Structure 1
């Protein structure tokens, strides 16, 4: 049975590397092709902005929505709080964290910049063990109770922490996490190898076991195309991926590319989304061609044999 592929638009570069006019064009193209989910964060993209602080992505999306009457009802918004620097360029030593006051301030700021009254999915962006899990859970559950957030997710959290948080929420009659967001792609880094992005947390077999066994839990994957590493000569794969398994996987990937007529990126997205544990791939884009390619993955149908070969190589 074919799995419907839900491609999420990653808006990390909007308002910085991609200016507002270009961002509007990309958002128009994405929604015009039937795209629905847009993912951002309150700290996107502090490292690309002269201020050393984030919020640019949310601001651009808010301005776009303000100029597109009726669009809010057609799309779903996902944003995050907890990792915005509290001083310019202060990440990771000086970030807001997941305390009650920090989260309330973060959500209020996100809603203001997005120019909306609520978001469809709100993520705790990074772990914060300096704050009790009970405080974080109660604060996030309150956002759902007051109608400003429809669902909650945990980004860059291990499965056991998500399970603990869900148990606390259930005991207190509060909404709990129903989504996890982690780094994941067809190619895999060596276990324990340092990734170029220090804040990234990689999904693991335990993650998939947990998602598969937890009713209502959904997995979102970021860095799915490894910053262009599958297709761009100017974007070589990070050193963490320099191992024999990468060559083996790429060989099988190219076989399937030849058989399907799709691109490497499209086959990767189809593989990610169509496995036994469905995953929503986030794709960061800066050009119209990238959106067309990514959404074209929705039409790629891997046969059982092709998936089995890709799975075996992986």
Structure 2
């Protein structure tokens, strides 16, 4: 396993890949999730990502499932002290705000953030989370309120580092500027959708935000900010015939990139998934992939990407395809 420091030199030290726990307790049952977590820890993985709403959209689920399962694993393995746990606030349905999501998302107001951390700590069975993300943008709340409330959680010892997800770059920059101007802890991690294929031109669909050139430029200019990518393998679409490309990535521009991806994978003796992960981790702005798997075998394939070394010529071909 390789490691890097989240948020520049400010810590915490995390594994170079992060295990996403989104399906744990819903579409991935507890024995399988425990086996995946055990294998990740055995391989030296230390960084696990969840949220307070995973995965409420699965029939019969509430959004408690992932955090509850992760909490049970942390306690049963006595792993809290050696696991960097990240969770999120802002996107959990609040029935008092209406019957339909995302209109009833809890948001990023002060009361919602305090209620969110209380619930997450209870479900995880701990008194502190290492990384706490503002999960989705909330323009209905003054940004200063969100920034100050989150900073208070850090200063109160309930949160280690702050992150943001699914926000435009200008909003991230403004939040960091606000925090710096007031001497407050600010966002040191940003987690966006990120993969090798590029999305078609046009505004993003729904609440999810993609990593774009503006964010890459901003991250390159601010080494105290760590970039993480989710949906890096597009639910298996790079390697499985039964998994079509997401509509936003299914366009003529993807044809050349997929061809070069297959060529480089053959040259490296690696899978296309492994090349995608290696490309992300070794780029000019190194990315921590948040990998989502449903079996130990899938996890092992992803971990093997740590041993895939793309040479400059291969990387240039991938970049310019």
2:69 to 60, 69, 78: 60
Residues 219, 279 of structure 1: 8 Å contact kept: yes
Q: Which runs of 5+ in 1 are unaligned?
A: none
1:9-31 per-position Cα deviation (integer Å, ceiling 9, x unaligned): 01100000011121111110111
Is the aligned partner of 1:255 residue 2:263?
Answer: yes
1:165 to 145, 156, 175: 175
TM-score (norm 2): 0.93
How far apart are 1:49 and its partner, in Å? 4.1
Partner SS, residue 47 of structure 1 = coil
Aligned CA-pair RMSD: 1.6
Q: Which runs of 5+ in 2 are unaligned?
A: 5-14
Aligned partner of 1:238 in structure 2 is: 246
Equivalenced residue count is: 308
2:108 to 94, 98, 110: 98
Aligned partner of 1:150 in structure 2 is: 160
Is the aligned partner of 1:80 residue 2:88?
Answer: yes
Structure 2 vs 1, CA of residues 250 and 95 (structure 1 numbering), >3 Å: closer, same or farther? Answer: same
1:191-214 per-position Cα deviation (integer Å, ceiling 9, x unaligned): 11665xx32111110000001111
1:185 to 181, 195, 211: 195
Residues 204, 210 of structure 2: 8 Å contact kept: no
Partner SS, residue 77 of structure 1 = strand
Aligned partner of 1:37 in structure 2 is: 47
Structure 1 residues 159-168 or 84-93, which shifts more? 84-93
Using the alignment, how far apart are the partners of 1:219 and 1:241 within structure 2? Answer: 21
How far apart are 1:7 and its partner, in Å? 1.1
Structure 1 residue runs of 4 or more that deviate by more than 4 Å after TM superposition: 2-5
Using the alignment, how far apart are the partners of 2:257 and 2:217 within structure 1? Answer: 22
Partner SS, residue 60 of structure 2 = coil
Using the alignment, how far apart are the partners of 1:138 and 1:157 within structure 2? Answer: 17
Partner SS, residue 132 of structure 2 = strand
Partner SS, residue 48 of structure 1 = coil
Structure 2 vs 1, CA of residues 273 and 287 (structure 1 numbering), >3 Å: closer, same or farther? Answer: same
How far apart are 1:311 and its partner, in Å? 0.7
Using the alignment, how far apart are the partners of 1:143 and 1:207 within structure 2? Answer: 26
Residues 3, 274 of structure 1: 8 Å contact kept: no
Is the aligned partner of 1:108 residue 2:118?
Answer: yes
1:237-292 per-position Cα deviation (integer Å, ceiling 9, x unaligned): 02222222211001111111111001000000000111000110111111111100
Using the alignment, how far apart are the partners of 1:49 and 1:14 within structure 2? Answer: 14
